[in-house]
Amino acid sequence: MKSRSLWMAALLAALGAGPIHAQTVKVGIVAPMTGGSADWGVQFRNCIQLFQSQNGDRVAGSKVDVIYRDTGGANPGLTRKHVEELIVNDKVNVLGGFFFSPNAFAASPVLTQAKVPGVMFVAGTPNLTETSPYWVRTGYTTWQSAVPMAQWAYKNGIRRVYIAVQDFSAGHSFQEGFKMSFTREGGQIIGEDRMAMNTNDFAPFIQRIINAKPDAVYMFISPGPPSIAFLKAAEAAGLKQRGIKIMGVAETDDQELPSVGPVAKDVYSALHYAVSLPNEANQALVKAVADRFPKDGPPHSGCVGAYDGMRVIYQMIENGKGRIAPDAVESVKGMKWTSPRGPAMIDPETRDIVHNIYIKQVVEGPDGKLFNRVIDTIPNVKDPWKESRKKQ
């Protein structure tokens, strides 16, 4: 027995030094696989599996292995530990995932130091990509949603807006993006509330909005119990009957609609993905997800971020002839492809994604079920946050 394990060890050592080892590329995915945002980690995993089953698990002769690490919730310390261990112990060549921005911020210095590329599937703080030259973004930035929403609102006759966001960094970012853009268009922000994260009952905030008599309210509330409570309070107080439109980010995304229920009707939002997008790539994705993962709901921005993230990682391996080369990030700058979200490109200047933003409205379908109808498309949106700084 002992001599056999020695043999195995010798064999493994030989293999490790030999060419077979070089033919595996390891991808480390850091994501919430448990806890309140587990749905995002599940969508990442499902859509990575889907991508690999459609495109094979070999690129340029190398096998692509994916390893998952669970961050639970927003946990920068744990994320940093996972990223370090993935790089040092598991020898991953490239990282992916990242749902919470604070987690991604914690990974930045490690990526820079280890010279390992990281692909952000969701985390949306605009300046994240500037914290390490090794970041590439296939999710979206907060301003890519906030600014088109503001422009659409002004174009459609909305002049006075009340902003109500959750009081944390993402909320502030959406607030600033919307305010900057809407006032530049000529609109007026007549009230702004940053609502504490521990708010259970939103009725007081809804009453403040009603008192201010705006044309519309712009909200950002992380989807889940708080966003449902907000929309229910708005419905109970008759916000829409008073002619106040509700605009948001992802509170009424298609996967949220069963939980939110009828109060989601007529809520507007701006994002880079909708299940109802008619393009061929999306129709194929929606069908494949429904066939393979019927219990996990329709694909959402998390799925598309992961699916496209894998495409970018595959391209890096392709460009490096079977490995993640030192210039992997450089090699995908300007990369263009047809995504389920529509035409997509990695911005060669900022390493963000350039994509269409869809203005969506929740309506009742012919089957009586609510869905998001795309009512306007703003093509090829570069991150407006970086654009706005360039102009100054």
Point out which residues bind other proteins (CB under 8 A): 34-39, 42, 167, 193-201, 203-205, 207-208, 224-225, 228-229, 232, 236-238, 255-256, 258-261, 295-297
Answer for the pair 95, 119: CB distance below 8 angstroms, yes or no: yes
Residue length of the chain: 392
Nearest distance from C-beta of residue 6 to other proteins, angstroms: 41
State the greatest distance between any 2 C-alpha atoms of the chain, in Å, as a whole number. Answer: 82
Q: For other proteins, which is the closer residue by CB, 212 or 325?
A: 212
Answer for the pair 129, 342: CB distance below 8 angstroms, yes or no: no
Nearest distance from C-beta of residue 13 to other proteins, angstroms: 39
**How do strand 342-346 and strand 353-364 relate by DSSP bridges?**
antiparallel
Nearest distance from C-beta of residue 103 to other proteins, angstroms: 17
Nearest distance from C-beta of residue 219 to other proteins, angstroms: 14
Q: For other proteins, which is the closer residue by CB, 114 or 210?
A: 210
CA angle 265, 269, 270 (to 5 degrees): 155
Sign of CA dihedral 367, 39, 137, 197: positive
Q: For other proteins, which is the closer residue by CB, 115 or 194?
A: 194
Q: For other proteins, which is the closer residue by CB, 205 or 385?
A: 205
Q: φ, ψ for residue 264 (rounded to 5)?
A: -75, -15
358 SS3 class: strand
Residue by residue, DSSP assigns 68-97 as EEE--SS-HHHHHHHHHHHHHTS--SEEEE
Q: For other proteins, which is the closer residue by CB, 133 or 261?
A: 261
How far apart are alpha carbons 225 and 220 in whole angstroms?
Answer: 13
Q: For other proteins, which is the closer residue by CB, 237 or 363?
A: 237
323 SS3 class: coil
Nearest distance from C-beta of residue 184 to other proteins, angstroms: 26
Nearest distance from C-beta of residue 327 to other proteins, angstroms: 39
